[in-house]
Homo-oligomer: A and B are copies of this chain.
Amino acid sequence: MYIETIHSPQALKALSEKELPAVCQELRSALLKKLSEHGGHIGPNLGFVEATVALHYVFDSPSDKIVFDVSHQSYVHKMLTGRMQAFTDPAHYDDVSGYTNPAESSHDMFNVGHTSTSVSLACGLAKGRDLLDQKYNVVAVIGDGSLSGGEAFEGLNNVAEQGTNMIVVVNDNEMSIPENRGGMYRNFKQLRDTQGTAECNFFKSMGLDYVYEDKGNDVEALVEVFRKVKDSDHPIVVHIHTQKGNGYGPAMRNREQFHWGFPFDLASGQCKVQFDGERYEDLTGAYLMEQIRRRPEVVAVTAAMPMTFGFTPAMRVEAGRQFVDVGIAEEHATAFLSGIAKAGGRPVFALNSTFVQRTYDQLTQDLSLNANPAVILIFYNGVYSLNDVTHTGFQDIPMISNIPGITYLSPYTKEEYFAMLDWALLQNKGPVVIRVPEKVVSSGEADTTDYNQTNKYEVVQRGREVAILGLGIFQSQAQQTVNLLQQQGVRATLINPKFVSGVDAALLESLKTDHRLVVTLEDGLVEGGFGAKIAQFYANSSVKVLNRGLPKAFYDRFKTSDLLNEMRLTPELLWADIMSSLQE
């Protein structure tokens, strides 16, 4: 076994080129074993085994700097840079994150998890190098759908201008998460079909030098091409054609499904994790398909993540022109929504909380300022959802709720969620954003709320002394806390605010008469969030306010229950804090 001995890139470099295919074979087997047991990004890593080996064989990391886009394809890089055990020993699987991480290794340049950033980050490294009159290679790895994001384009445009050493490895596996979308990809096909010789060349049109390597999973061919560009005195694109999921049949056949996956059976490729019960992904897709069938103006929009709202390949086909995948291009998506709505369409865009951050200006200027009635659904938010630091959904509340003109709704039950969607798809006030809960809770009763009454909170139970406002999924904690208080003889008021973006002034005012304490619970960063609005409302009164949520910080790979305990967001701890506050 080679890989047991590779504790650093130096060990790899000591091997002969002829030995590299065997190394790749071992790496791929080890990787597959871990992925099948642990889950993770499958196709992107399997397709990039040879390229990673070739990069480390030719370049001298960490003197030479390699920047991985999204860094979801950096697993082999981690294996080769001192972190092999995290891939071969199940007890150590969780020693490493799923992305590059400077805290793990000096071979990792940045914490990265969003797409389309590597070229700009690498361009900065190269600039820093030049300013200090140093000499090393800077390599940006990008592809796998990431090139369609505007930041990547801005980066490419500036790399040519900068003019000094930089190598941009374009990993062209013909895919994004689903198929690639966009006119640019036709040019990539033309380039593949002509072995890179087509005169019309996107990269050359950006002022960049260019080489093409069709055998992107042939480690020896890659070593040769990387040797040619090493120490280049100018920027150069190395366009390599790879096979997503290479070497593993199920991943090569089902490329979208195997982009990222839970543990699976290695022989069959079958996912080992069974989901019980309802999921908002599926419920939302089914709901929207029904809308699409009835209303020609309804259109579902995704930025390369159709499964976020349950749009299976079959549903995409059925929806036809009423389903649009814009590729990884959230800025475009948001402006596109505004145009569609202006022209009389009814667009619904679903995306992860962490990715809505990419479109702050478009939400403000393109959409909200123009008051066009588009609908945006924010999935994967809060403490019960994704826990990689680059993918947490904790900022959407402070971000969106403070942009003028947006109605931001946070349902607790599925009945509320669909009532909000029904309303949002008919109203003409302006953009409506809905925070999709991580868990499906059903009240069993239709929600008859009139959502035209902006900022009207629901009073679930009217009590006195203390009121608890549990936003969205935290209505559960609020209810349980109210129950605990009840057992101590305190009949608290329970409120389901539903509106994140504004305060119910009449209701809050009325609480002043017989309440001493108002408690807010929100599933996100608490500074500048929902609770802040309540604290501001009561700031100049004698009503005390307790805001609970997450302190402003980055959170990495937390355990939900630990976080809830630490932030005193469990019913028991909330009960204790409320009792103590009431006794002051």
Q: Identify A206's interface contact among B102, B130, B202, CB under 8 A.
A: B202
List residues of chain B with CB within 8 A of the CB of A130: 321
Total chain A interface residues with beta-carbon distance under 8 A: 121
The answer to the question of A282 belonging to the interface, with a C-beta cut-off of 8 Å to chain B, is no
8 Å CB contacts to B: which residues of A94-141? 102, 109-114, 117, 120-133
State the Cβ distance, A440 to closest chain B Cβ, in Å. 29
The answer to the question of A364 belonging to the interface, with a C-beta cut-off of 8 Å to chain B, is yes
Q: Identify A532's interface contact among B110, B148, B208, B528, CB under 8 A.
A: B528
Which B residue sits closest to A140, measured CB to CB? B339
Which B residue sits closest to A148, measured CB to CB? B157
Q: What is the CA–CA distance of A400 and B276 in the complex, to the nearest angstrom? A: 40
- Across the interface, do B204 and A200 meet the contact criterion of CB distance under 8 Å? yes
List residues of chain B with CB within 8 A of the CB of A357: 360-361, 364-365
Q: What is the CA–CA distance of A340 and B126 in the complex, to the nearest angstrom? A: 7
- Across the interface, do B370 and A110 meet the contact criterion of CB distance under 8 Å? yes
Decide: A132 near B297, CB < 8 A? Known: A148-B157, A187-B205, A402-B527.
yes
State the Cβ distance, A113 to closest chain B Cβ, in Å. 7
State the Cβ distance, A200 to closest chain B Cβ, in Å. 5
Q: What is the CA–CA distance of A65 and B113 in the complex, to the nearest angstrom? A: 38
8 Å CB contacts to B: which residues of A490-533? 517, 525-529, 531-533
The answer to the question of A40 belonging to the interface, with a C-beta cut-off of 8 Å to chain B, is no
Q: What is the CA–CA distance of A332 and B206 in the complex, to the nearest angstrom? A: 15
8 Å CB contacts to B: which residues of A123-179? 123-133, 148-161
List residues of chain B with CB within 8 A of the CB of A332: 120, 123, 151, 154-155, 157-158
List residues of chain B with CB within 8 A of the CB of A536: 526-527, 531-532, 535, 545, 547
Q: What is the CA–CA distance of A210 and B578 in the complex, to the nearest angstrom? A: 67
Number of copies: 2
- Across the interface, do A114 and B529 meet the contact criterion of CB distance under 8 Å? no
State the Cβ distance, A268 to closest chain B Cβ, in Å. 35
List residues of chain B with CB within 8 A of the CB of A114: 361, 365
Q: Identify A150's interface contact among B113, B151, B370, CB under 8 A.
A: B151
List residues of chain B with CB within 8 A of the CB of A464: none
Q: What is the CA–CA distance of A404 and B554 in the complex, to the nearest angstrom? A: 6
Decide: A340 near B390, CB < 8 A? Known: A365-B114, A395-B403.
no
The answer to the question of A344 belonging to the interface, with a C-beta cut-off of 8 Å to chain B, is yes
- Across the interface, do B149 and A117 meet the contact criterion of CB distance under 8 Å? no
- Across the interface, do B183 and A345 meet the contact criterion of CB distance under 8 Å? no
Q: What is the CA–CA distance of A345 and B129 in the complex, to the nearest angstrom? A: 8
Decide: A154 near B329, CB < 8 A? Known: A199-B200, A344-B128.
yes
Q: Identify A336's interface contact among B123, B327, B370, B538, CB under 8 A.
A: B123
8 Å CB contacts to B: which residues of A551-579? 552-554
The answer to the question of A16 belonging to the interface, with a C-beta cut-off of 8 Å to chain B, is no
- Across the interface, do B161 and A154 meet the contact criterion of CB distance under 8 Å? no
Q: What is the CA–CA distance of A529 and B532 in the complex, to the nearest angstrom? A: 9
- Across the interface, do B132 and A157 meet the contact criterion of CB distance under 8 Å? no
8 Å CB contacts to B: which residues of A339-362? 339-345, 347, 357-358, 360-362
**Nearest 9 A/B pairs, CB to CB:** A150-B150, A124-B339, A183-B207, A128-B343, A160-B183, A154-B332, A120-B335, A157-B182, A528-B528
Residue positions of A touching B, CB distance < 8 A: 65, 67, 102, 109-114, 117, 120-133, 148-161, 181-187, 199-202, 204-208, 296-297, 299, 321-322, 324, 326-327, 329, 331-332, 335-345, 347, 357-358, 360-362, 364-366, 369-370, 389-390, 395, 398-399, 401-405, 517, 525-529, 531-533, 535-536, 538-542, 544-547, 552-554, 581
